[in-house]
Structure 1
Amino acid sequence: MAITKYEFLTPDQIAHFMTHGWVRIPSCFTPQQATEWIKDLWTRLGYNKDDPSTWVLKKINMPVLNTLDVREFAPKAWGAICELCGGEERLSEISRFWGDNFIVNFGSEKLKRRGRAVGPRELDNWHVDGDTFVHFLDSPNQGLLVIPCITDVLENGGATYICPDGIGVVARHLRDNPEGVTPYMARRGEESRFYEFQWFCEQVKDPEKCRDFQQMTGKCGDVVLLHPLMMHSASRNVLHVPRIITNAFVCLKEPFNFDREDPREYSLVERKTLKELGVDSLSGWMIKGDRETLKPGRERIHERMKEMELRRLAGEDVGPVADSGVEVHREIVKGLVWKPDQATAQSV
């Protein structure tokens, strides 16, 4: 059933999403809620909150230990998520749970002393989310990119960089490759060429394709909702003030549909995709490959990190965390070729 009345998104917010591919929903949860959510973070890391010399890593992606129900924690954010995706009935059950897989960008004293912001074309972490599945234009695995701001996220303080131009770049690549591509946009047989972030970085460095870059700043409690094909990158935190966000997961029950009989049934995400492709529909378009599930090495690293975090929470002195799914990511993705894990491979 089409959404005929929007209760959480304003007309201006809808227009902003249709123009830029993202929208900020302010004050979705309180600073008190945020403080409670991250109360164990420093113990889990083995870092001293008040001693920057103990912050071993510049940036870290933490594993999930616990989840909360976003419908209760941040109902305004949940309502906006549902409206962007075409209604709550289109979302899988897992979408309503946010994990404590915090992404902490510390920066460093060296970056602070240097004081120079690193521009978007200099960054080497450009990507779209979803390293656990073969990508198609209509993949339901990644319904939205969701960034809850658990601390204030300041300009040049580790804010996620985005490239709104990149939505169309990625959408066209996926449209033209209905056989599917890896999370790094490689066609079958090209994994050795695009085994990490080269494809995305090549697009970002091309001024004919990518000209618009923005930092996703926000106040504690804001939630930024972005189109699932939004190219984005971790940025350098030159303020050396910890920035804490998480990457909330949104998954659809069914694939996106870009050829609906009734155009009123298109979700706002689908409409934005079609707008970037310059069409009203994709009549006859369909995938030509299997919806394969991949098992990245990141999961093994997070299992090890989880074990160490639980030991720290139990009071054991195991030292600070010194590796993460971010810092060693280049080693992880080299093994992410087109070989679905046989134990988890499934059709979506």
Structure 2
Amino acid sequence: MNELSRSQIEHFIAEGFVRIDAAFPRSVADEGRAILWRDTGMDPNDPKTWTKPVVRLGLYGQRPFADAANTPVLRAALDQLVGRGRWLPPTVLGTFPVRFPSHEDPGDAGWHIDASFGTENPDFMSWRANVASRGRALLMLFLFSDVGESDAPTRIRAGSHLDIARQLAPAGEQGLTLRELAANGFEETAHRPEVLATGEAGTVYLCHPFLVHSAQPHRGTRPRFLAQPPLLPAEPLRLEREGGEYSPVEQAIRGALSRRPDPG
């Protein structure tokens, strides 16, 4: 019962993500959210104290966060999507962009992918990604609060990971910087359908590392608590394997490189 179905895996390969409801208990989300509320310096019962559109909190490894990241259902899903023994169990979750209802521009609502190496460079737009997703096996979204359509859910361009794989391939091992990837505003993915990462507290979205996504302003009434950690690989992804035992992450990249781009 903990395993992803064949249709879920096929959806991940084609669309770039899979949603897992009740991936960790609501009680764990409640415990974690209480810690996060404390660190925002704001009062959960007094909206007058919610003075910023977004507050970014760091890495959290306390028990509720470690418990959320290592449930049997998630571990089974990670084995299926990345490969048994090919990923490192998360020890921390973060960062947490906590979004509050606001009419202010949060200043971070552009389309992007998350870089995976070169992060020692102080200029984050110089961080890099390559076609083998060096340093990142997945992007993960952990919902620590209920997130409806008006609660600033992450926007996802379904299937955009295929476009990014084709964009990265000619750059080889060196890959491209975020500045290079964003040079045209990710226009090559604009034809993709948009999906909102909504769900109840305890929902997790497991996303292909090349999936194009975006924040958005919060127009609801309930602050949104979400972690967006990477899943780190225990070994590099490989696009050529003896025996052909490719993970769904690798299958998606290989499939993208063997097909023509979809019409816009």
TM-score by length of 2: 0.83
2:198 to 197, 217, 234: 217
Give the 3 Å change call, closer, same or farther, for CA 198–56 of structure 1 in structure 2. Answer: farther
The AA in structure 1 aligned to 2:72 is: P
The AA in structure 2 aligned to 1:33 is: V
Residues 115 and 178 in structure 2, CA contact (< 8 A), matched pair in contact too: no
Structure 1 counterpart of 2:56: 61
CA–CA distance in structure 2, aligned partners of residues 18 and 178 of structure 1: 22
What displacement does 1:278 show?
2.5
Structure 1 counterpart of 2:5: 10
Give 3-state SS (helix, strand or coil) of 2:140's partner.
strand
Give 3-state SS (helix, strand or coil) of 1:99's partner.
coil
What displacement does 1:28 show?
1.5
Structure 2 counterpart of 1:151: 145
Residues 154 and 214 in structure 2, CA contact (< 8 A), matched pair in contact too: yes
Structure 2 counterpart of 1:126: 111
1:172 to 163, 166, 174: 166
- Per mean C-alpha deviation after superposition, the further-off stretch among 223-232 and 171-180 is 171-180
2:216 to 235, 243, 247: 235
CA–CA distance in structure 2, aligned partners of residues 220 and 241 of structure 1: 12
CA–CA distance in structure 1, aligned partners of residues 226 and 68 of structure 2: 18
- Per mean C-alpha deviation after superposition, the further-off stretch among 148-157 and 61-70 is 61-70
1:76 to 73, 76, 79: 73
1:91 to 87, 94, 106: 87
CA–CA distance in structure 1, aligned partners of residues 57 and 172 of structure 2: 33
Identity over aligned residues, as a percent?
A: 27
Q: Cα RMSD (Å) of the superposition?
A: 2.4
Residues 146 and 201 in structure 2, CA contact (< 8 A), matched pair in contact too: yes
CA–CA distance in structure 2, aligned partners of residues 65 and 216 of structure 1: 22
What displacement does 1:211 show?
2.8
Structure 1 counterpart of 2:187: 202
What displacement does 1:202 show?
3.3
Structure 2 counterpart of 1:271: 251
Query: What is the CA deviation profile of residues 244-267 of structure 1, one whole-angstrom value per residue up to 9, with x for unaligned ones?
Result: 11012211122211112222x100
Structure 2 counterpart of 1:303: none
Give the 3 Å change call, closer, same or farther, for CA 216–245 of structure 1 in structure 2. Answer: same
Give unpaired runs (5+ residues) of structure 2. 119-127, 260-264
Structure 1 counterpart of 2:36: 41
What displacement does 1:198 show?
4.1
Residues 78 and 96 in structure 1, CA contact (< 8 A), matched pair in contact too: no
CA–CA distance in structure 1, aligned partners of residues 209 and 2 of structure 2: 22
What displacement does 1:240 show?
3.1
Give 3-state SS (helix, strand or coil) of 1:57's partner.
coil
Residues 2 and 72 in structure 2, CA contact (< 8 A), matched pair in contact too: no
Give unpaired runs (5+ residues) of structure 1. 1-5, 112-122, 187-193, 280-348
1:259 to 234, 240, 248: 240
The AA in structure 1 aligned to 2:8 is: Q
CA–CA distance in structure 1, aligned partners of residues 27 and 236 of structure 2: 37
Which one has a bigger Cα radius of gyration? 1
Query: What is the CA deviation profile of residues 275-333 of structure 1, one whole-angstrom value per residue up to 9, with x for unaligned ones?
Result: 22236xxxxxxxxxxxxxxxxxxxxxxxxxxxxxxxxxxxxxxxxxxxxxxxxxxxxxx
CA–CA distance in structure 1, aligned partners of residues 234 and 70 of structure 2: 23
Residues 152 and 218 in structure 2, CA contact (< 8 A), matched pair in contact too: yes
TM-score by length of 1: 0.64
What displacement does 1:144 show?
0.5
Give 3-state SS (helix, strand or coil) of 1:96's partner.
coil
What displacement does 1:80 show?
0.5
Structure 2 counterpart of 1:344: none
The AA in structure 1 aligned to 2:115 is: G
